[in-house]
Amino acid sequence: MTLENISVAIEFLLLGFSNDPEMQPILFGLFLFMYLVTILGNVLIILAISSDSHLHTPMYFFLCNLSFVDICFTSTNIPKMLVNIKTQNKSISYTGCLTQICFVLTFVGLENEILMMMAFDRFVAICNPLRYNVIMHPKICGLPVLISLLISVLDALLHTLMVLRLSFCTDPEIPQFFCELAHVLKLACSDILINNILVYILTSLGGVVPLSGIIFSYTRIVFSILKIQSGGGKYKAFSICGSHLLVVSLFYGTGFGVYLSSSATHSSRKSAIVSVMYTLFTPMMNPFIYSLRNKDMMGALRKLTSRISFH
């Protein structure tokens, strides 16, 4: 049997969190609860924005897309993790693993770019308020989202196709609860130089460029806010950006934590715990951050819940 045939026939083992049978029901219940809260919270954000005409603005359009991406991102890996915990079966097929890699990279890239668009929206609103309706016209806001989706899909497909050329000689163990590209590459028994070069180049373009755009936007925003004379005006400007800054900090903070843990440790438990913060905790917290700190969102959510209760 050739190495290629062996690779197609193998199953990856997702080591996850704990082998203790007594811990499995606790882990299952905890992550099921977090997953349901994530889905419910983000669905409510989408429904509230869609049902309230006052929220049909670029800022909430991007927030609606962010919630949709968070739903897709968590649904890519959490259901499989729950099934593995419930059945106490750590395996995932070769095809399933590659599919997970492709979808995870797609939604991570898309979330990265949507956060940059949201920062640019805040930059225009604060630094160029008179030109806001021209620059951020609702009819053209969908175009950058579609372009970002296309770029993210192409990036994910390229990485996935490059993994297809690798050989895996035995049943490899991944110190994670989902198939992460960095860990899968380490398990290959063929040369991964091209894969690593591709990862560094595309990560620089897909990660550093959006982050640089966010930093540039907020640098300009801070300078503009400092020029405002009234304390009330400064507070209002900071409050506009507060929720987004908190989400950006969570996303990139936990993202860098995953990257460092993947590079520095092979501990299944440590790597998996850090990844939960990135793949589940951050998407779960986003709806709370945007709703609790935003009077317009709270009002839209109240209207939505009252309609649901009435029907």
Tell me: pLDDT of 35 over 90. Answer: yes
Cα separation of 119 and 66, whole Å? 13
pLDDT at 61: 93
Reported as a pLDDT band with limits 50, 70 and 90, residue 282 is confident
Region 280-304: what's the mean pLDDT?
A: 82
User: Buried b vs exposed e over 88-101: b needs ≥16 C-beta within 10 Å?
Assistant: eebebebeebbebb
Cα separation of 45 and 284, whole Å? 12
pLDDT in tens, 198-211: 988 888 888 888 99
Q: How far is CA 224 from the centre of its chain?
A: 30
Residue 10 gets which letter from DSSP?
-
Tell me: pLDDT of 2 over 60. Answer: no
pLDDT at 82: 92
Reported as a pLDDT band with limits 50, 70 and 90, residue 34 is very high
pLDDT at 272: 73
Reported as a pLDDT band with limits 50, 70 and 90, residue 300 is confident
Task: Say if residues 101 and 181 touch (Cβ distance below 8 Å).
Answer: yes
Element (H, E) at 289: helix 282-292
Cα separation of 48 and 107, whole Å? 22
Pick the closest to residue 226 from 116, 127, 120, 118 (CA basis): 127
Q: How far is CA 204 from the centre of its chain?
A: 17
Highest mean pLDDT among 48-57, 83-92, 98-107, 230-239: 98-107
pLDDT at 309: 65
User: Buried b vs exposed e over 281-293: b needs ≥16 C-beta within 10 Å?
Assistant: ebbbbbbebbbee
Task: Say if residues 179 and 271 touch (Cβ distance below 8 Å).
Answer: no
Range of the domain at 209: 3-310
pLDDT at 311: 57
Region 187-199: what's the mean pLDDT?
A: 89
Residue 151 in tokens: 């770029």
Average per-residue pLDDT for the chain: 84
86-95, 202-211, 232-241: which range is least confident on average? 232-241
- Provide the percentage of residues in the chain whose pLDDT is more than 70: 88
Reported as a pLDDT band with limits 50, 70 and 90, residue 263 is low
Cα angle value 80/12/255 (rounded, 5°): 65
Pick the closest to residue 117 from 60, 56, 62, 70 (CA basis): 62
* CATH code for position 276: 1.20.1070.10
87-96, 150-159, 299-308: which range is least confident on average? 299-308
Pick the closest to residue 286 from 278, 144, 32, 267 (CA basis): 278
Region 270-295: what's the mean pLDDT?
A: 80
Q: State how many domains the chain has.
A: 1
pLDDT at 273: 74
Pairing relation of β-strands 173-174 and 11-14?
parallel
Region 110-133: what's the mean pLDDT?
A: 90
Contacts of 202 (CB under 8 A, 6+ apart): 155, 158, 159
pLDDT at 175: 83
pLDDT in tens, 209-234: 899 999 999 999 888 888 777 766 67
Region 254-267: what's the mean pLDDT?
A: 62
Region 235-244: what's the mean pLDDT?
A: 75
Region 89-101: what's the mean pLDDT?
A: 91
Cα separation of 215 and 108, whole Å? 19
Tell me: pLDDT of 91 over 50. Answer: yes
Task: Say if residues 107 and 283 touch (Cβ distance below 8 Å).
Answer: no
Predicted TM-score (pTM) of the model is 0.89
